Amino acid sequence: MKHLISLKDWSAEEILGVLALAAKVKARPDKYRKALRQKTLLMIFEKPSLRTRLSFEIGMTQLGGHAIYYDMSTSPMSGGKETIEDSIKVMSRMCDIVMARLFRHEDILEMAEYATIPVINALTDEGHPCQILADLQTIQEKKGTLKGLKLAYLGDGFNNVTHSLMQGCTKLGIHISVGSPEEQMPAVEVTELCSQFAQESGCELVVTDDPVEAIKDADIVYTDSWMSYHIPKDEEAARVKLFTPYQVNAALMKNAKPDAIFMNCLPALRGAEQTAEVIDGPQSVVFDEAENRLHAQKAVMLTLCGAV
Ligand code: CP
Ligand code: NVA
């Protein structure tokens, strides 16, 4: 386990191992205060962030190391002055671990190919594995288990968080139903691969354009922004129209189990992918979910740096 690029590359045991460590790190942060002493994390950002930036930078501080924020637009990689290959080779000579939030998934694959240090995908247009590790930690805390639960995802199916959720759930035997309009279904290759994972782990993967079918009897209801960072502003009106039938509101939530939890990776827009009454209501766990980014990513860095 050298990199974290996509959860499809990790075994169920590896995912569960990081979750177990994340729980330990959360319970006893003091025990890991020097675990990454003298280590440096490079954080490359091509897109905005609140949670990812804070959780990685604070996580590294809490583990005794140092983190450098590096804005992609100020790097020689921007504008083609220096290749990704040369850049990551140089980074590998000085840093101990690198995370990158990029547009193109191919770019993080290229970084991982030429890096001699661990590379973490901190979101690309195609996936957001760090988010899903924190989500799984949150589900485990709230429900006491993972395997056999049902997660319903409503909204944009052709989406990084959706793809990573499909991978994480089907690896661990969590039933997952994605309710999305026909035009925005998850990528075919992700659905195909996750169907195989679902068979292996003994769970069901359903992709449907019927929001009520998707959410029926769910233990976890999940949604994400209709306007991801990479979506152009001029698509907003059409997307609002397309996704409105999938908005998570009180009426739709009634179809989930009465004790279902509501999740959103954040940032969230009230009145769009969910209503205020849902995200601010008693079933919402979105801030526990956000906090767990810190604990889960500390576990990822400890694992990839071989510090545990
Ligand atoms: N959920 C998440 O990754 O948030 P940020 O975009 O604020 O990092
Ligand atoms: N799908 C969202 C996730 C944000 C954390 C985006 O890419 O903007």
Known catalytic residue at 51: no
Does 240 contact ligand 1 (Cβ within 6 A)? no
What's the pLDDT score for residue 286?
99
Q: How far is the CA of 290 from the centre of ligand 1 (A)?
A: 8
Ligand that comes closest to the CA of residue 124: 2
Count: domains in the chain: 2
Q: How far apart are CA 98 and CA 115, in angstroms?
A: 9
Ligand that comes closest to the CA of residue 132: 1
Ligand 1, atom 3, lies closest to the CA of: 52
What's the pLDDT score for residue 252?
98
Q: How far is the CA of 107 from the centre of ligand 1 (A)?
A: 19
Same domain, 267 and 299: no
Which helix H or strand E contains 67, and what residues bound it?
strand 66-71
Same domain, 90 and 118: yes
pLDDT tens digits along 82-124: 999 999 999 999 999 999 999 999 999 999 999 999 999 999 9
CATH code (residue 174): 3.40.50.1370
Same domain, 110 and 18: yes
Residue 192 counted as domain residue = yes
Atom of ligand 2 nearest to the CA of 160: 1
Residue 252 counted as domain residue = yes
What's the pLDDT score for residue 229?
97
Residue 49 counted as domain residue = yes
Known catalytic residue at 230: no
CA angle 259, 196, 9 (to 5 degrees): 90
pLDDT tens digits along 51-93: 999 999 999 999 999 999 999 999 999 989 999 999 999 999 9
CA distances from 255 to 138, 220, 248, 293 (A): 22, 12, 11, 29
Atom of ligand 2 nearest to the CA of 229: 8
Residue 2 counted as domain residue = no
pLDDT tens digits along 22-46: 999 999 999 999 999 999 999 999 9
Same domain, 159 and 11: no
Q: How far is the CA of 49 from the centre of ligand 1 (A)?
A: 5
Residue 1 counted as domain residue = no
What's the pLDDT score for residue 1?
59
Q: How far apart are CA 211 and CA 67, in angstroms?
A: 42
Residue 12 counted as domain residue = yes
Q: How far apart are CA 11 and CA 142, in angstroms?
A: 23
Residue showing tokens 């502003």: 233
> Of the residues 137, 162, 293, 294, which should be mutated to test ligand 1's pocket, given the most ligand atoms within 8 Å of the CB?
293
Q: pTM for the full model?
A: 0.98
Residues with CB under 6 A from ligand 2: 123, 159-161, 224-225, 228-229, 265
Q: How far is the CA of 161 from the centre of ligand 2 (A)?
A: 7
Does 101 contact ligand 1 (Cβ within 6 A)? no
Same domain, 274 and 150: yes
Residue 216 counted as domain residue = yes
Ligand that comes closest to the CA of residue 160: 2
**Mean pLDDT across 212-232:** 98
Same domain, 145 and 261: yes
Same domain, 158 and 88: no
Same domain, 136 and 119: no
Q: At what angle are helices 84-94 and 105-114 packed, to 10 degrees? A: 50
Residues linked to residue 45 through DSSP beta bridges, in sequence order: 71, 101
Residue 120 counted as domain residue = yes
Known catalytic residue at 130: no
Q: How far is the CA of 177 from the centre of ligand 1 (A)?
A: 23
Same domain, 106 and 144: no
Which helix H or strand E contains 300, and what residues bound it?
helix 286-304
**Mean pLDDT across 188-212:** 98
Same domain, 77 and 119: yes
Q: How far is the CA of 289 from the centre of ligand 1 (A)?
A: 11
Same domain, 112 and 216: no
Does 298 contact ligand 1 (Cβ within 6 A)? no
Ligand that comes closest to the CA of residue 130: 1
Known catalytic residue at 297: no
pLDDT band at 250 (very low <50, low <70, confident <90, very high): very high
Known catalytic residue at 194: no
Domain containing 42 equals 7-127+293-304
Nearest to 22 by CA among 127, 146, 123: 146
Same domain, 39 and 111: yes
Does 175 contact ligand 1 (Cβ within 6 A)? no
Known catalytic residue at 295: no
